[in-house]
Amino acid sequence: MKIDMQERLRQELAAKTGSPSFHLPKDILFDREGNAHSVYLSDAAVTASMHKDPAAFEGWVLAIKTLLGESVCQNIEMSWDAPDDLGDKNYQRFLYRLIRFHRHVGWLTIAPACKSLLLASRVLKPDGSPVADSVFFIAGPSSSREMDFGAGMDSIAAQEEQYLGLLFSEHPSELLRALSWKGRMQQQLPAGLFEGTVSKSTQAFTGGKSAIDLWASDPDKGLALFELKTADNCKIGAISELFFYTCLIRDLANGLFRFKGDAKTEQSIRDAKAVSGFLVSSRIHPLLDNNTLFAVLNTAFAPQGMHFGYIEYDDDLHVKRVIPKP
């Protein structure tokens, strides 16, 4: 029955987007009874990297909710299988993302049997407050350079996105003008989270060398984060990455985390009135190419000082459109 529901849901989403060329991941099961949906993630899904389809629960639930509409999808209940290793760094990042998302998205509920699983988070309590007696640092530029976690980029897409970052940093006015944003464009805002001290052994999540591609600070609007994606790499998980990085930096601005690195960078973050995250790509996944999706995210998280959007560029790196319009 669940296999039939999977295909039915895929067909419904494909009809809404006009794009049948995507598949639902096998490590997530979707079901529906009336207008109540449920999403189940296997232990393989919750320990996968967040940019991969099985782990990207934010993208799937947002697509289902916003494309099918309230009459078909009133609420979504999430459940999952915990891995044997509760300290798995991808699982810890999953718990952080889920706690942050669930706290402010009223239509997403946690299955009763899974609520206690949130207690395994090393970073946040289920109510979103920090775990007591733990001090977490986001590594700053100098300390991240000193760490050697393995040389080189891990994929061709990552190399291409790094190159895109270089191009946009050399011509920053295109992105900033599209947002009516002031300030100076900067590269590589570190996003590795560490417990106690900064070292490979103290990474809270995977990606100790993670960094946000581009960022800019506007004294009136706050901080803008730009997550660059090539057309072939802008998958459903792109929204999960964007959500995670925006939450991480907002938590840093709010004082939940400390910063090791450049004092000027830290002050820009601390002073930010809001943190806005933008996907930047020449093409977006069809399930994410949806104004309502970003509107729903912004309605939920604007009171928390977070905003989300998408910037599409052409072959000449000129901005074609912005969602939502500034």
Q: Report DSSP letters for 47-106, one per residue.
A: TS-TTSGGG-HHHHHHHHHHHH-TTT-SEEEEEEPPPS-TT-HHHHHHHHHHHHHHHH-T
Instruction: For residues 24 and 26, give the distance between their C-alpha atoms in angstroms, rounded to a whole number.
Output: 6
> What residue segments make up the domains of the chain, in order of their start?
2-120, 136-323
pLDDT score at 292: 95
Residue 121 is predicted with a pLDDT of 97
Q: What is the pLDDT of residue 163?
A: 64
pLDDT, position 263: 85
Predicted confidence at residue 117, as pLDDT, reads 98
Give pLDDT, residue 249: 96
Per-residue model confidence (pLDDT) at position 266 = 87
Can you give the pLDDT at residue 147? Answer: 36
* pLDDT tens column, 79-92: 999 999 999 999 99
Give the residue ranges of the chain where pLDDT is below 50: 1-2, 141-153
Q: Are strands 258-260 and 136-139 parallel, antiparallel or unpaired?
A: parallel
At residue 3, the pLDDT reads 54
